[in-house]
């Protein structure tokens, strides 16, 4: 096991990053920042400063929540934050320590 940090931040589908839709822009920025273990999760519902965002049949689902989560060494996460924070000024971001467990290629008994 190796010690690292988990980085998580929240966006909305309607957000833009450098003129691109949030998902595309965030993936590009994260790749530039050296993040490789990364997931972008599209939420089905969320509550933010602009109210409830939902996939409900009666709502317009153009602004669903997006959660981005990455795991890397502390140095890589700190570098990524220096790139991401100026480009995502309204995104709520957080980090916490994790123990990273790399998958092995051995077969199970």
Q: Quickly state the pLDDT bin for 46 (edges 50, 70, 90).
A: low
0.85 surpassed by pTM: no
CATH of span 2-98: 3.30.70.120
H-helix segments, the chain: 22-32, 74-87
Please list the residues that pair with 21 across neighbouring strands: 16
CA distances from 62 to 54, 56, 96 (A): 9, 11, 30
In tens, the pLDDT along 63-76 reads: 778 899 999 999 99
The CA-based dihedral angle spanning residues 69, 71, 73, 75, taken in that order and rounded to the nearest 10 degrees: -10
Phi, psi of 66 (to 5 degrees): -125, 130
Task: Average the pLDDT over 5-18 and give the result.
Answer: 89
Cβ proximity of 63 and 53 under 8 Å: yes
Report domain extents, the chain: 2-98
């Amino acid at each position: 096991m190796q010690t690292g940090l988990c980085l998580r931040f929240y966006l909305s589908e309607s957000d833009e990053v450098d003129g691109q839709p949030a998902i595309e822009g965030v993936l590009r920025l994260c790749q530039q920042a050296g993040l490789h273990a990364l997931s972008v999760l599209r939420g089905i519902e969320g509550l933010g400063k602009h109210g409830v965002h939902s996939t409900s049949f009666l709502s317009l689902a153009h602004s669903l929540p997006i959660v981005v989560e990455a795991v890397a060494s502390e140095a890589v996460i700190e570098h990524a934050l220096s790139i991401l924070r100026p480009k995502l000024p309204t995104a709520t971001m957080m980090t916490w320590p994790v123990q990273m467990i790399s998958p092995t290629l051995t077969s199970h008994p």
